[in-house]
Amino acid sequence: MNTLSELRKSRESYYFLAPSVIIFLVFGLSVLVANVVLSFYSWSALTEPRFIGLDNYRRLFHDAVFRKALVNTLYYCALYVVPSLIISVLLAFVLNKKLKGMNLFRSIFYLPVITSYVIVVILWQWIYDADIGLLNSILNKIGIASVPWLLSPKLALPSLVLMSIWKNVGYTIVIFLAGFQQIDVALHEAARVEGATEWQVFRHITLPLLRPTTLFSTVMLIIWSFQMFVQPYMMTHGGPARSTTTLVYYLYETGFQYFDLGYASTMSVVMLIMVLPIIILQSKLLRAR
């Protein structure tokens, strides 16, 4: 009797779960499995799919463009993550002060975050323009010669990094502000009474207590770096000289411009294996809550 009603009750739970589980099975699990299967096939838009075993993986291993894309993505990640963290922790520290107008400033830093990448890119494409751009116009005014931002293979990727920091710093500021809110104010006051300067309090009390927040933000920033796509797609087409070809951009080019679908799937699998440790870390961080 009892088990029967319990059985009925848990069957009810499955009804509540059904919509999400179906979506998860069809658009999560099955798609993921299909992706792995596809990676063993040669398949372009015109030909029938043909099983080729590990050939795609061998090709990927020797693919100079893929290697370049991987290096670019890692380079982007290296240039992007640490400055983002430093800027946002310092700005969050300043914005956390109980002073007039702080709410307004918080909003201002959040404005680029909600603006879509497409609009940000349209804006910055012009800002970075070598001949008529806003940035060079301002630089010229203070006596600095024009810089070929997006046209130089050396500067193009760092320019994209700068733009991304500008766009996303408000997001990490909000995460750090939430982190600051979790810190016990009494600790700060105790340290001040002991005669610690504001910098000492920040360095020796606030920062160590922010470690979980910092870890979470770092993981977020790394995942974003690996997903970077709109900037090279709209601004540079991966150039000049492949200097801004990122992993996702190369994946898009292979799969949806050359319709080399099997090979693009192989790239997805390899990408997924590369970011898997980070994803596992992220879900551990969520689980720890």
Partner 1 sequence: MNRLRKMPMKNFWTYFILVLLGSTMIVPFIAMVSQSLKPGSQVLEYPFRWIPENPSMENYRMLFKQNPIMRWTLNSFIVAGGSTILQLITCSLAAYAFSRTSFPGKDILFWMMMSMLIIPSQTTLVPLFLLFSKLNLTNTYTALLLPTASSAFGIFLLKQFMEPIPKDYDEAASLDGCTRFQFYSKILLPMCKPALAVLATFNFVTQWNDFLYPLIMTQTRDMFTLQIGLSALQASGSRGEMGGMGVVMAGAVWGFIPTFILFLLLQKYLVEGVSSAGIKG
- Site residues for partner 1, window 33-62 (CB under 8 A)? 34-35, 38
Closer to partner 1 at the Cβ: 164 or 214?
214
Binding of residue 13 to partner 1 (CB under 8 A): yes
Longest dimension (CA), the chain: 87
Determine the length of the chain. Answer: 289
CA–CA dist 85, 225 (Å, integer)? 13
> Which among 61, 100, 118, 114 is positioned nearest to 235, based on CA atoms?
118
Close Cβ partners of 237 (under 8 Å, ≥ 6 residues apart): none
Binding of residue 283 to partner 1 (CB under 8 A): yes
Site for partner 1 in 81-140 (CB under 8 A): 91, 94-95, 97, 99, 101, 105-112, 114-119, 121-127, 131-132, 134, 137-138, 140
Closer to partner 1 at the Cβ: 35 or 42?
35
Closer to partner 1 at the Cβ: 101 or 208?
101
Binding of residue 207 to partner 1 (CB under 8 A): no
In the set 46, 186, 193, 288, which binds partner 1 (CB under 8 A)?
288
- Name residue 51's beta-bridge partners: 41
**Four-CA torsion 82, 84, 90, 91, nearest 10 degrees:** 180
Binding of residue 190 to partner 1 (CB under 8 A): no
Closer to partner 1 at the Cβ: 132 or 186?
132
Binding of residue 3 to partner 1 (CB under 8 A): no
CB of 53 to partner 1, least distance (A): 18
- The gap between the terminal CA atoms of the chain, to the nearest Å, is 38
CA–CA dist 135, 149 (Å, integer)? 9
Closer to partner 1 at the Cβ: 7 or 82?
7
The residue range among 51-59, 68-76, 201-209, 216-224 that interacts with partner 1, by the rule CB under 8 A, is 216-224
Closer to partner 1 at the Cβ: 79 or 169?
169
CA–CA dist 43, 259 (Å, integer)? 8
Binding of residue 252 to partner 1 (CB under 8 A): yes
Q: How many CB atoms lie within 10 A of CB 63?
A: 18
